[in-house]
Structure 1
């Protein structure tokens, strides 16, 4: 009897032990996870010491939770049916948080006091790159820890567990995935920014100012080009030239891939204004690099691109800027002033180019001079980058590899097991600046109707010419084109190309519900459908591009597209069998 009583007491004590430790561990985990957001906010606010202390608290709480859930008694209770799987998942959750805190958060906490967003604010035209260099090991460690945490979190088996436990596992996995995006971006930034700012020697970059009033696949014609020199963090705008000032070469300055030449003609590599005809920005950049070398004898180390919409985002960080003309350029009027008003004011293209150059130089001076809110600047650049309004190419293979799978690279869309990506690219065929009046709506969807489960995909594009009915007479000839290229004044003519993954089957396209002839082609292995559309003022049309996938797919669909002026978010398209 005494033996039985002793066994009962031990069992009750063990249950109480596990129960108490479970409550304590839950408290530690619930207290730890929100601290990651607190730490991030403190870094953004420039409170490095606060971020360091928060990181230390998070690490301590995570270690405590792991210790509370990993003793022999807890592990023994994991063998109990029904209860055991819940305890196992809780232990594994605590271990994921603990590993991430030790290997990721702790290194970040150590450097939090020595780096903040203010380090991205130029002082007297220079950025101190040393804090970024010093932070590289810690951020690299954090990035590695995040990837490990993603693997661990995705491997958690929550079958048969309580909703509270499975919900906690789901929230942790989502939080780790979100953190991975941020840490990856920061890791890339601290690895590439110092080098691009001349930490290892002087650099020269050509900056293309793309004008979406006359569309090209990567954004627009190259209205102006600037040369930026960087050295030891110092940034100087050393030269500017109108895009139209570059000569038209008799042949492409570089050998074009056959697909590019077939789709977009040799003009892509003959004239600076046309380097964006191809949707592959790395190719556009190499062509621009060679054209600059041929014209000025300088081999630039990289090529950047930006458009007026992105300048508008940046002006939200600098505040309004007064131009040499007396105009006040702001985030509210940047697009209208640079893409509409300038054409009404100046009839001569050279005067328009001078205005664009002055605006770009003024914005650059404000940013380089440190007259900018660093948090707003980073937010602005992030938004512009996500919309492909800022593109970056580096001639350094190592740096380009860091950029390769980011939106900044401007590469053709890359699909994976989770996401099927398509490309929508627009090239002006009006020969003028009517892109200001082109409204673009897009949607994408899929449906599975076949017995072999191969899905059908549809990319729908709605184009509308929003120009006034009397556009032919009220708009400047330079804007309408005056019919020089065979397009009636006031009309908008656009070549619309959609790219699908190489392994897809092209099923053609329709316009306003009717099948139409189109150009089936390929580009670097991608399947392409292209069609030229001309719209009169007020006219609208709906294009549907159809494809057949190679195998069953249950992931998401995305559309990468030319950054037009009036951008609408891509919607989900419901299609039937």
Structure 2
């Protein structure tokens, strides 16, 4: 029994309650502070590991480029360790609970998601590929005794496929990270991750297609035969240049050789198209697309070109090829950087600097006979091919050359195997029509020669494209501008060979250049209007499948220039996408430029 008076015992009991509450509050504060310190320390450590991961990625790129496979594998292991540590540091229960606190929670969630994505990429993409990279260095694919060893590609197929799937999932996961209320450093880090993954996932998808397709297409599982189209840019076709010569390309377990060759002019004319043409193709380009080998690429659809060329070869030689490949003299000039000069049977020496002029201009003055010209063209391509097939080249420079040729639209591939073609479709080498997505709205500018000559050597082309939301319904307006100039000498009619000018045979005055320009928009776009040199344009508006097309014809004398503008309305869901344009690769190819326009007059007509 207490000795305290009743009043003091009551006071003591009354004072104990606040003290208990105080201790509870103090305990909570200490726990919160401990949690903050815990999360802060672990967050700092995670930040350091993520920064090391970024640095290791840069190191890894350098090592892979240099072909230092052993060092690349060690760096990949370090990357995985650092990424795993960052994931672990942001994955404990304290961090997990802190993710739901006001303000800081969204930042902690974002950091956690970044760590998870980086770790997934390190574990599921970088590490598997690093294990096979020792066998995938550039020199491994240089032909030895005329044959490429395809086994390293076959062995790499599972790892590269796994890496591609991982990167695709990581790209999606990064896009889903909520940064609406994150601090600017966190937002910036997430954006850097998104940009990196968007780029590398696309590159990985392309690499995966190469790794999966190349062995079979190069004859690993059985002999393959392909038709090789040598396209002449001095006489433009939408797909590149007129097929001046064609050849059989044979692949047998990595050994590649050239077989029969023929001039493009030796095929046809056939009484009817060798394969049925769509109504749209006939409307735009005429049935000659399927009646002459030299016209199979009037259409920009390379899958159509390939099928027609394949059938013409079959009807002439009785042989069904497995696919069609197209190449042009400009790509040959790129390849000559890797092989060095080649000596031709005529005694000419062809180099990377003189190949285009030699093949597309000088040959016509030197050899007036068209048959000799075709033979010269084919022999030049054969000389370069022979050097490549025997391994006489710098591998890295050759990869750069082929990549550049593909990016320019100068190198095209079509497979008669539907499964292979499905994988090729959509890639840069496929020659598909423009499309629209949340990232880009693409347009195509395709040129066909109407002169019946080799005057396109003197045709300069510039393309610009721009987009803006000018309407209340949110549909974006896109404008494509094409400027053409005839750079031939003023006396071209008399100073240039008749074979080059056409001699007026098809109704075009010698020295002039007649060109059909077709501008393609993505599917579901709507033609809006067009002008030529500030006046209403006289043109054909039609469809190629579900792609709107605006096509007009121009005739330019030496020194003359014309500018054509065409506008389309796109879908509102793609309003924020950037605009791009590709175009038929000519002798000279300039980069597409950005275009600014007035919403009130996107195609001004005076």
TM-score after normalising by structure 1: 0.97
The equivalent of 1:558 in structure 2 is 580
The answer to whether 1:570 aligns with 2:596 is no
The 5 A counterparts of 1:109-258 are 109-258=130-279
Aligned partners of 1:369, 1:300: CA distance in 2, in Å? 23
Give 1:279 shift: 1.1
Cα offsets for 1:527-557 (capped at 9, x unmatched): 1111110000000011111223343622111
Equivalent pair of 1:518/1:531 in contact (CA under 8 Å):
yes
The equivalent of 1:511 in structure 2 is 532
Give 1:517 shift: 2.0
Aligned partners of 1:550, 1:180: CA distance in 2, in Å? 26
Aligned partners of 2:557, 2:492: CA distance in 1, in Å? 10
Aligned partners of 1:70, 1:189: CA distance in 2, in Å? 37
- Gap change, CA 1:508 and 1:86, over 3 Å in 2: closer
The answer to whether 1:318 aligns with 2:339 is yes
Aligned partners of 1:482, 1:104: CA distance in 2, in Å? 60
Give 1:187 shift: 0.4
The 5 A counterparts of 1:52-67 are 52-67=73-88
The equivalent of 2:329 in structure 1 is 308
Give 1:36 shift: 2.4
Equivalent pair of 1:212/1:221 in contact (CA under 8 Å):
yes
Structure 2 counterpart of 1:416, from 437, 462, 483: 437
The equivalent of 1:535 in structure 2 is 556
Deviates more, 1:81-90 or 1:525-534: 81-90
Aligned partners of 1:517, 1:12: CA distance in 2, in Å? 75
- Gap change, CA 1:258 and 1:8, over 3 Å in 2: closer
Which protein is bigger by CA-based radius of gyration? 2
Give 1:91 shift: 1.1
The equivalent of 1:484 in structure 2 is 505
Cα offsets for 1:51-81 (capped at 9, x unmatched): 1111111111100111111111222222332
Give 1:177 shift: 1.1
Deviates more, 1:507-516 or 1:5-14: 5-14
Equivalent pair of 1:56/1:106 in contact (CA under 8 Å):
yes
Cα offsets for 1:81-102 (capped at 9, x unmatched): 2222222211111111111111
Equivalent pair of 1:320/1:330 in contact (CA under 8 Å):
yes
Cα offsets for 1:501-523 (capped at 9, x unmatched): 34232234211000032112221
**How many residue pairs are counted as aligned between the two chains?**
577
Equivalent pair of 1:43/1:117 in contact (CA under 8 Å):
no
Aligned partners of 1:91, 1:504: CA distance in 2, in Å? 41
Equivalent pair of 2:435/2:523 in contact (CA under 8 Å):
no
Equivalent pair of 1:228/1:236 in contact (CA under 8 Å):
yes
Any idea what SS the aligned residue of 1:408 has? coil
Aligned partners of 1:461, 1:544: CA distance in 2, in Å? 6
Deviates more, 1:374-383 or 1:183-192: 374-383
Aligned partners of 2:522, 2:31: CA distance in 1, in Å? 63
Unaligned stretches of 5+ residues in structure 1: none
Give 1:9 shift: 5.1
Give 1:4 shift: 6.7
Equivalent pair of 1:421/1:558 in contact (CA under 8 Å):
yes
Aligned partners of 2:535, 2:30: CA distance in 1, in Å? 80
Give 1:560 shift: 2.3
Equivalent pair of 2:231/2:243 in contact (CA under 8 Å):
yes
Equivalent pair of 2:527/2:569 in contact (CA under 8 Å):
yes
Give 1:17 shift: 2.4
The equivalent of 2:4 in structure 1 is none
Give 1:6 shift: 5.9
Structure 2 counterpart of 1:379, from 400, 405, 409: 400
The 5 A counterparts of 1:273-352 are 273-352=294-373
Give 1:422 shift: 1.6
The equivalent of 1:86 in structure 2 is 107
Any idea what SS the aligned residue of 2:580 has? strand
Equivalent pair of 2:359/2:377 in contact (CA under 8 Å):
yes
Equivalent pair of 1:508/1:529 in contact (CA under 8 Å):
no
Unaligned stretches of 5+ residues in structure 2: 1-18, 601-606
Any idea what SS the aligned residue of 1:215 has? strand
The 5 A counterparts of 1:347-496 are 347-496=368-517
Aligned partners of 2:508, 2:565: CA distance in 1, in Å? 24
Aligned partners of 1:108, 1:89: CA distance in 2, in Å? 27
Give 1:413 shift: 1.5
- Gap change, CA 1:507 and 1:90, over 3 Å in 2: closer
Equivalent pair of 2:80/2:123 in contact (CA under 8 Å):
yes
Root mean square deviation, CA, Å: 1.6
Give 1:16 shift: 2.7
Equivalent pair of 2:582/2:592 in contact (CA under 8 Å):
no
Any idea what SS the aligned residue of 1:300 has? coil
Give 1:8 shift: 5.4
Give 1:7 shift: 5.5
Give 1:243 shift: 1.0
Aligned partners of 1:407, 1:4: CA distance in 2, in Å? 64
Any idea what SS the aligned residue of 1:192 has? helix
Aligned partners of 1:415, 1:450: CA distance in 2, in Å? 19
Deviates more, 1:187-196 or 1:3-12: 3-12
Aligned partners of 1:101, 1:298: CA distance in 2, in Å? 48
Give 1:10 shift: 4.5
Equivalent pair of 1:508/1:518 in contact (CA under 8 Å):
no
TM-score after normalising by structure 2: 0.92
